């Protein structure tokens, strides 16, 4: 093995310092100017490459970037390709296959038009380009394929950044644009893998192409099934261990690189494997936000700037002066923009998009960047592009990335949301801010029993449609515990109609500790049916006491009412009562109550109990502003309206909050009480408050308590 010389190492580290420093600096400047950072990072390569530094100071350029030294060049390219792989993992994180699956007719047609029309136009255009554009390892057909892919794709990252800056990600136009951009990205990576495979096969061989496409299809299917399960298992074990973020990063990067190895082995570029691995890893509920943030930060801070700056280093703008390349570049830009806009606009018209929204989507999909640069880099490395055609494609990427944001901002600046869209946006904003409603995965521990089954039904009615529920059974012994657990889990699963569920089993002597350990693996909520009576303090079950003391996420405690028929079809609740307390946990309880009321078409009473007679407002004041009590009720009414519910505000006076709530529930005919509580410690035992515990012990109605661990409620 040949070792690197001290001079080669010196130059290599100097290259990294200069590239990262200039790329990050220019990227920051461009970002502050409203442009994507990638434009500045590419511009860094242009400034440091043959286009500027090579002409102004050729000696310095030759010292910094000795392209005639294959070892020196290989070092930089190796880091650059690692950057591409990590960049694509991060891009895969942001690719929402569920959103693509739910594509409406308009979004699907926009996506199809924005891809098919540019592909056809660009392929025809490529057949007209001079021979100086065609690389030594390409046929005219494979060259035209790469040009077609280059000119027809969109940049999801750039589109998402623009929409995010304009606070339009949740708008109809934003959702359609994102869905179409995701489809573009996904199609682009698959096309890149297919075309690269064709080049590896040595030309356009129908059987070879069919084999390549089949290999890609098998890889995708395997990754989204077996690969998903293996990734989930690996990430789960990492979270169960004590490795923290470093261990999570190791598994994440290892899976991405392994996927890249597989695609490289089947004759497709490793970047496709990294991208698909990113999708799989991003979909896993065991992937921690800290690991995602660490990988994205590391990539954005170092690896991506190195890749984009290195891509710019290969661009020599002087080549545009040869063989009319500048005119061909202008023609490529015009055709790429025109075909993409026309195709997307036509798809939107067929899909019934309003004219202004349609124009905004069509303009936004012209944002290129990351994917086009990767395609050009792959084509150059395969010998499909020459430096001239590579330069033209990079100039196209930079031009469209720079011009799209201001044009799109102008188109979108006066686009107002209609009444229906405004109501949806307001509701989504409430759900996004909710600890309960925004839960991605919930946990239901069960040993069977009516309360556990009721907890399953209430949980199903409280969560969003795409939330997954894991049904967990814990036993202290082997087969006997598992057999009874299987029966309980099947009963509970039957209460979730169309919701995705999964089965979790554990054999452990301490059920509470096992449930808490499972809850720490990325769940947002744990629902527990209280099959034992509740008398507070030492008299509650050991398992419930352990959960209240140590569960790291909110609990949803469910205690069935005395007259509730556990075998009745559907949930029988027609009137729900919830307190107005002005606290974080109180708001969480209201969110659950309003969600249940909406889905069950039930009435809602919002009650505030005042212990001071002189603070009880007059009935006419309820709904007004100023007084603290009145303000709490007004806030509760405002929140209810965002869930599409009208509420009946009530005030009561008495020394015991729990007793007053019980009396009020009896008077109003409420059959479901939804309460909020924070776990506190009293004499070493978990304590929910006298009022909550009174109702759990004495209320005739069904009681649901949203219990926050102290660390989550301390922000009040």
- Beta-carbon neighbour count of residue 644 at 10 Å? 11
pLDDT of residue 704: 94
Is residue 423, in this structure, part of any structural domain at all?
A: no
- Helix ranges, 33-68 (H): 37-48, 53-56, 58-64
Do 404 and 487 fall within a single domain?
no
User: What is the tally of structural domains in the chain?
Assistant: 2
Give the tens place of pLDDT for each residue, 623-679.
Answer: 443 467 788 888 889 888 888 889 999 988 888 888 999 999 999 999 999 999 998
Return the H-helix or E-strand segment holding 441: strand 441-445
Whether the pLDDT of residue 81 is over 90: the answer is no
Q: Which residue has the tokens 């098998």?
A: 218
Is residue 421, in this structure, part of any structural domain at all?
A: no
Is residue 64, in this structure, part of any structural domain at all?
A: yes
Rounded-to-integer distance, Cα 274 and Cα 188, Å? 14
> Which residue from 399, 319, 403 is spatially nearest to 363, judged by alpha carbons?
403
Do 464 and 577 fall within a single domain?
yes
Q: Which residue has the tokens 């293996």?
A: 230
pLDDT band at 285 (very low <50, low <70, confident <90, very high): confident
Whether the pLDDT of residue 480 is over 60: the answer is no
Do 499 and 643 fall within a single domain?
yes
Do 382 and 457 fall within a single domain?
no
pLDDT of residue 620: 43
Do 347 and 451 fall within a single domain?
no
Rounded-to-integer distance, Cα 638 and Cα 633, Å? 9
Share the mean pLDDT of the chain.
Answer: 83
Give the tens place of pLDDT for each residue, 584-600.
Answer: 899 899 999 999 998 89
Rounded-to-integer distance, Cα 57 and Cα 49, Å? 10
What does the pLDDT average to over 323-340?
A: 89
Longest dimension (CA), the chain: 92
Whether the pLDDT of residue 479 is over 70: the answer is no
Quick one: what percent of the chain has pLDDT higher than 70? Answer: 85
Specify burial of residue 207 (Cβ count, 10 A radius: 0-12, 13-18, 19+).
exposed
Range of the domain at 629: 431-713
Do 379 and 486 fall within a single domain?
no
Do 387 and 459 fall within a single domain?
no
**Token pair for 408:** 């799109």
Are the C-beta atoms of residues 378 and 269 closer than 8 Å to each other? yes
Distances (CA, A) of 359 to 157, 356, 396: 20, 5, 21
DSSP 616: P
Q: What is the DSSP string of 126-166?
A: HTTS-GGGB-TT--HHHHHHHHHHHHH---HHHHHHHHHHT
Do 309 and 207 fall within a single domain?
yes
φ, ψ for residue 687, nearest 5 deg: -135, 130
Q: Which residue has the tokens 């006298």?
A: 690
pLDDT band at 535 (very low <50, low <70, confident <90, very high): low
Is residue 444, in this structure, part of any structural domain at all?
A: yes
Rounded-to-integer distance, Cα 375 and Cα 695, Å? 64
**Token pair for 236:** 């789960």
> Which residue from 285, 280, 296 is spatially nearest to 239, judged by alpha carbons?
285
Is residue 155, in this structure, part of any structural domain at all?
A: yes
Q: What CATH number is associated with residue 406?
A: 1.20.1530.20
Is residue 460, in this structure, part of any structural domain at all?
A: yes
**Token pair for 26:** 């220019």
Using DSSP's 3-state secondary structure scheme, residue 453 falls into: helix
Do 448 and 342 fall within a single domain?
no
Are the C-beta atoms of residues 46 and 409 closer than 8 Å to each other? no
Task: Say which residue, 60 or 106, is predicted with more confidence.
Answer: 60
Do 375 and 497 fall within a single domain?
no
pLDDT of residue 625: 39
Do 373 and 514 fall within a single domain?
no
Is residue 417, in this structure, part of any structural domain at all?
A: no
Is residue 418, in this structure, part of any structural domain at all?
A: no
Do 17 and 58 fall within a single domain?
yes
pLDDT of residue 621: 44
Output the pTM of the full model: 0.75
Return the H-helix or E-strand segment holding 253: helix 244-265
Rounded-to-integer distance, Cα 480 and Cα 329, Å? 73
Q: What CATH number is associated with residue 535?
A: 3.40.50.12370
Q: Which residue has the tokens 């007719």?
A: 105
> Which residue from 410, 402, 375, 294 is spatially nearest to 37, judged by alpha carbons?
402
């Amino acid at each position: 093995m040949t070792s690197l010389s001290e001079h080669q190492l010196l130059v290599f580290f100097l290259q990294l310092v200069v590239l990262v420093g200039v790329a990050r600096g220019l990227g920051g400047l461009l970002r502050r100017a409203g442009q994507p950072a990638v434009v500045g990072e590419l511009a860094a390569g242009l400034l440091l490459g043959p286009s500027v530094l090579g002409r102004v100071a050729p000696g310095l350029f030759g010292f910094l970037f000795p392209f005639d030294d294959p070892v020196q060049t290989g070092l930089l390219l190796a880091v650059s390709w690692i950057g591409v792989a990590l960049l694509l993992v991060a891009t895969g994180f942001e690719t929402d296959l569920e959103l693509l699956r739910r594509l409406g007719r308009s979004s699907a047609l926009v996506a199809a038009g924005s891809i098919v029309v540019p592909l056809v136009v660009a392929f025809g255009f490529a057949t007209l380009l001079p021979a100086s554009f065609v690389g030594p390892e390409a046929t005219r057909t494979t060259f035209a394929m790469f040009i077609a892919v280059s000119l027809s794709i969109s940049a999801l990252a750039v589109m998402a950044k623009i929409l995010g800056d304009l606070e339009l990600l949740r708008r109809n136009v934003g959702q359609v644009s994102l869905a179409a951009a995701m489809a573009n990205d996904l199609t682009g990576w698959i096309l890149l893998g297919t075309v690269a495979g064709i080049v590896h096969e040595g030309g356009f061989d129908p059987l070879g192409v069919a084999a390549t496409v089949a290999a890609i299809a098998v890889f995708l299917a395997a990754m989204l099934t077996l690969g998903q399960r293996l990734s989930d298992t690996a990430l789960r074990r990492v979270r169960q261990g004590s490795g923290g973020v470093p261990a999570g990063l190791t598994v994440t990067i290892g899976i991405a690189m392994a996927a890249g190895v597989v695609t490289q082995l089947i004759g497709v570029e490793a970047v496709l494997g990294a991208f698909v691995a990113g999708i799989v890893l991003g979909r896993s509920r065991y992937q921690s936000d800290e690991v995602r943030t660490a990988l994205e930060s590391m990539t954005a801070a170092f690896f991506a700037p190195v890749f984009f700056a290195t891509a710019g280093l290969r661009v020599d703008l002087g080549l545009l002066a040869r063989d009319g390349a500048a005119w061909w570049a202008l023609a490529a830009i015009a055709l790429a923009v025109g075909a993409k806009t026309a195709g997307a606009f036509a798809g939107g018209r067929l899909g019934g998009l309003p004219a202004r929204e349609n124009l905004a989507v069509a303009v936004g999909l012209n944002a290129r960047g990351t994917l086009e640069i990767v395609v050009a880099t792959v084509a150059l490395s395969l010998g499909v592009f020459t430096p001239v055609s590579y330069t033209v494609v990079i100039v196209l990427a930079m031009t469209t990335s720079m011009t799209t944001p201001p044009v799109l901002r102008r188109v979108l600046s006066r686009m107002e949301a209609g009444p229906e869209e405004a109501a949806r946006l307001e509701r989504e904003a409430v759900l996004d801010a909710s600890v309960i409603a925004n839960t991605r995965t919930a946990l239901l521990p069960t040993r069977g029993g009516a309360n556990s089954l009721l907890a399953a039904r209430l949980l199903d009615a409280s969560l969003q449609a795409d939330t997954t529920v894991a049904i967990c059974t814990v036993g202290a012994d082997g087969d006997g515990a598992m057999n009874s657990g299987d029966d309980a889990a099947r009963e509970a699963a039957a209460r979730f109609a169309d919701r995705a569920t999964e089965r979790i089993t554990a054999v452990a002597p301490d059920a509470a500790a096992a449930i808490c350990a499972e809850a720490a693996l990325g769940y947002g909520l744990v629902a527990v049916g209280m099959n034992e009576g509740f008398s507070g303090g030492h008299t509650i079950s050991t398992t419930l006491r352990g959960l209240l003391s140590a569960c790291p996420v909110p609990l949803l405690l469910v205690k069935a009412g005395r007259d509730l028929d556990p075998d009745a079809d559907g949930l029988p609740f027609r009137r729900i009562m919830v307190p107005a307390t002005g606290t974080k946990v109180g708001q969480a309880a209201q969110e659950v109550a309003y969600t249940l009321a909406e889905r069950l078409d039930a009435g809602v009473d919002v009650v505030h109990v005042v212990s001071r007679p002189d603070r009880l407002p007059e009935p006419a004041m309820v709904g007004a502003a100023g007084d603290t009590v009145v303000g709490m009720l007004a806030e509760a009414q405002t929140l209810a309206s965002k869930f599409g519910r009208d509420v009946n505000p009530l005030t009561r006076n008495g020394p015991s909050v729990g007793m007053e709530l019980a009396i009020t529930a009896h008077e109003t005919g409420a059959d479901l009480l939804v309460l909020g509580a924070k776990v506190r410690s009293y004499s070493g035992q978990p304590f929910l408050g006298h009022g909550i515990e009174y109702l759990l012990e004495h209320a005739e109605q069904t009681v649901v308590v949203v219990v926050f661990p102290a660390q989550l409620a301390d922000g009040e």
